[in-house]
Amino acid sequence: MERGKRIRSNSLNDLHSKEWIRFQKSWFVHRPSRRERDVLLHPAKFPEELVAEFITFFTKRGQAVLDPMAGTGSALVAALQTGRRAYGVELQAKYADIACKRLQEVWAQLEEPPEFRLETGSAMDIADFGFPEIDYCITSPPYWDMLRRKGFETQKRRRSDDDLDVYYSDDPSDLGNIKDYHEFLETLILIYRQVAGLLRESAYMTVVVKNVKKGGKLYPLAWDLAGRLSEFLALKDEKIWCQDDLRLAPYGMGRAWVSNTMHHYCLNFRKQ
């Protein structure tokens, strides 16, 4: 793929002109490659290839990337693969162990491997882990407690396999177990305020999130986060991740309008 011309005085990334322009499209479709078995254990992942596109746009090689809710390490793996330093926190030891294994495998294959560090613990304590100044954060929070919603967890492919998790954990510290929407939102804001404190001036943060439906009501999680995070970070733009390969379901047929939600918001903030 043609890269285009080198951009003079490019302080943001290492991209050339055509690569920069391609990323500026406000929506995209991404079809990830097949996941490894241990990575599939986690019930909500975003693809490394997708994360790599954001990392290569918002950072230069050698800079520091953070994911405060690392899961099985997608963002951190993508950071290492693109020559960035990787830092993260994951609450559940079983996911952190998988992430560490994957990171070590990638690290061992690189000629000049960057530093990485993954802590097992709560994102609520992220300011206490002693991470260095961060150049970019990309993360995706739990979509409230939707994995526990009746019917949601009965995805046939996951339910038919006893080895795959249908929700994160039974841990009361897990954000995915908070039942009250406003409590969940406020907890997220507390975490992201700490993340903002770790970001260097002019650094970006991307939050991959979607609005959620529960009990016949739409909860505007993406929009609420955009508004609340704008209290301490500048909301610069959004990219829409469209999933056009999901099976459609007849929600509300014959009774009411209920959409098949097949997109996520990639909200881009900047510390300024």
198-212: pLDDT as tens digits: 999 999 999 999 999
Per-residue pLDDT, 176: 79
Comparing CA positions, the residue from 131, 69, 77, 120 lying closest to residue 101 is: 77
More confident residue, 18 or 170: 18
178-228: pLDDT as tens digits: 889 999 999 999 999 999 999 999 999 999 999 998 888 999 999 999 999
Per-residue pLDDT, 143: 83
Per-residue pLDDT, 36: 59
Q: Which residues pair with 116 in a beta bridge?
A: 86
110-145: pLDDT as tens digits: 999 999 999 999 999 999 999 999 999 999 998 877
Instruction: Say yes or no to pLDDT of 166 above 60.
Output: no
Average pLDDT over residues 6-22: 95
Comparing CA positions, the residue from 75, 59, 58, 57 lying closest to residue 67 is: 75
Q: Taking the CB of residue 66, how many other CB atoms lie within 10 A of it? A: 27
- Least confidently predicted of 29-38, 98-107, 148-157, 206-215: 148-157
Instruction: Say yes or no to pLDDT of 18 above 70.
Output: yes
Q: Two tokens at 83? A: 């020559």
Residue 21 makes CB contacts below 8 A (sequence gap 6+) with 4
Instruction: Say yes or no to pLDDT of 148 above 70.
Output: no
Taking the C-alpha atoms of residue 166 and residue 149, their distance in angstroms, rounded to an integer, is: 11
Per-residue pLDDT, 150: 56
Report pTM: 0.89
Burial of 59 (0-12, 13-18, 19+ CB in 10 A): buried
Per-residue pLDDT, 158: 39
pLDDT > 90 fraction of the chain, expressed in percent and rounded: 71
Question: Domain 35-245+257-270, what architecture?
Answer: 3-Layer(aba) Sandwich (3.40)
Per-residue pLDDT, 245: 86
Q: Two tokens at 206? A: 């991307």
Sequence spans of domains, the chain = 35-245+257-270
Helices 181-198/221-229 angle, 10° precision: 40
66-103: pLDDT as tens digits: 999 999 999 999 999 999 999 999 999 999 999 999 99
Per-residue pLDDT, 42: 41
Phi-psi region of 11 (alpha: psi -120 to 50; beta: other; left: phi over 0): alpha
What is the rounded average pLDDT for all residues in the chain?
88
Instruction: Say yes or no to pLDDT of 177 above 60.
Output: yes
Per-residue pLDDT, 154: 43
Q: pLDDT tier at 147 (50, 70, 90 boundaries)? A: low
Per-residue pLDDT, 163: 57
Taking the C-alpha atoms of residue 141 and residue 68, their distance in angstroms, rounded to an integer, is: 9
Taking the C-alpha atoms of residue 168 and residue 20, their distance in angstroms, rounded to an integer, is: 36
More confident residue, 222 or 174: 222
Per-residue pLDDT, 34: 65
